[in-house]
Structure 1
């Protein structure tokens, strides 16, 4: 069996977290728990939009290392929607243009791009109704996937259904909600409506793995634990120095010195 790799390009919902940010977990951090015989290389970085990930050389690094037959999972939207800081993209404009660069770059190297919509934020109104701040980005990704014949994994729609069923209170157990003193990394507590804890991230990763199998993007022997519970204690976090090193190194065509102090 050929040793293959699954590269991940995405934002903070995907990235692997260092120990200093535990118990915050990205779904890419735990995808390997559902995959065997293939290496998951999580190049996602917090604060990245489809634009900034490419402009800062992170897509270049992936394309310098990806090989024929590898997969490239692309998941952006949470940062693309933020205006005013050079990372914003219009859903049916720059967003689709940048996503095309990921598709063409992977295919030019014999690799296979896959689109994964971002999971939705946790936003409820005063009446308990869930809002969808990601708006048109998942729709724009779906449209582009159809036009370019790219496999499409709709994590956004799946997450919306789960968040609604869990409700405003139940979703606090999935997202990074901590009381003061509950965790040493967040001594004052935190109420984060974007980032997940282990259980939420594990189930998002399980969804991604199941869709990869259902769409025959990998053959069945590549999957494990799809129907098995995984304890939150099994989640591993990067040492902080390793996290910093990978952040600086995974920038194609640039030196770490050029990028130091500018990466998120």
Structure 2
């Protein structure tokens, strides 16, 4: 057994690959959080998450940097792989990240799907969460161009599950409105959080409440499609204080090269 092989009997794992909207953030920038970081708050003891999303990543840069190889080495039959890229694929001026929605974006996403299937896992395509953008009439706007449409079409072509997080998050932001969404994104008053003494105004990245809200959308999609059973998300209906319960590690998992495996107690390291 190689050092990256998961131990036997570890139970199912939900793996997350994606960008900064899904990734784990360290305590130094609390309350910023990704939806993958918040997923464990909803889960029962029989399931684990491995959030390996990478801030700034596109489907291309994550794959080309070898990050997906780490995930594949840890996956085993019965695991679920959530694949969520799109925010940075649109940065076509950057040759290391930009993809074309109808060609290279689809090609890279297919590599993630194929890799998960080869490991006996279930790949799930997740369209990118919407940014906080409203028009003058207070209507939530589309901000991801053709990328969500391309992912939807690919899911249909490959016959793999899709969670349309673009649509569900846009509907949630519309329900909450321009003012109600402020507490979900990184809009912080000066002095309200010690990690951000000057405050923050960010309409892309989530704070704890937003990360949990989006995690609920993802969990609902997984359950409604029968990808996982209700035993995976036993806290779905519970009241949760994300600022109190969410875990911000001292360093981000993706930047810690000591990861060896995913065991019953979570990540194992050297």
Q: Same fold (TM over 0.5)?
A: yes
| Mapped pair 1:29 → 2:37 | yes
Shift of 1:2: 6.8
Q: What is aligned with 1:63? A: 72
The size of the alignment, in residue pairs, is: 249
- Counterpart selection for 1:206 from 216, 233, 239: 216
Of the three residues 40, 54, 68, the one matched with 1:45 is 54
Which residue of structure 1 aligns with residue 4 of structure 2?
Answer: none
In structure 1, the partner of 2:110 is 100
Equivalent of 1:147, from 149, 153, 157?
A: 157
Aligned pairs (5 A) from 1:1-264: 3-36=11-44, 37-85=46-94, 86-232=96-242, 233-240=244-251, 243=252, 246-249=254-257
Structure 1 regions of 5+ residues with no counterpart?
253-264
TM-score, normalised relative to structure 2: 0.87
Offset of 1:166 from its aligned partner? Answer: 1.7
Change (3 A) 1:247 1:142: same
SS at structure 1 position matched to 2:178: helix
Distance 2:229 2:188 in 1: 40
Kindly state the Cα deviation for residue 22 of structure 1 after the two structures are TM-superposed: 0.6
More helix per residue: 1
Gaps spanning 5+ residues in structure 2: where? 1-8, 261-270
User: By how many angstroms is 1:83 displaced?
Assistant: 2.5
User: Aligned Cα RMSD in Å?
Assistant: 1.8
CA contact (8 A) 2:58 2:89 kept: yes
- What secondary structure, in the 3-state scheme, does the structure 2 residue paired with 1:221 have? coil
Q: Is the 8 A contact 2:43 2:236 kept in 1?
A: no
CA deviation after TM superposition for structure 1 residue 42, in Å: 0.6
* Contact residue 91 and residue 136 of structure 1 kept, 8 A: yes
| Distance in 2 of aligned mates of 1:65 and 1:165 | 39
Relative to structure 2, which stretch is displaced further, 167-176 or 126-135?
126-135
Asked whether the equivalents of residues 70 and 112 of structure 1 are also in contact (C-alpha less than 8 Å), the reply is yes
- Deviation per residue, 1:104-158 (Å, 9 max, x gap): 1111121110111111011123443332111211111110001101111111101
Q: What TM-score results when the alignment is normalised by the length of structure 1?
A: 0.89
User: 2:53, 2:254 within 8 Å by CA — same for their partners in 1?
Assistant: no
Q: Is residue 60–residue 251 contact of structure 1 (8 Å, CA) maintained in 2?
A: no
2: CA distance, partners of 1:94 / 1:177: 34
Distance in 2, Cα, partners of 1:247 & 1:146: 34
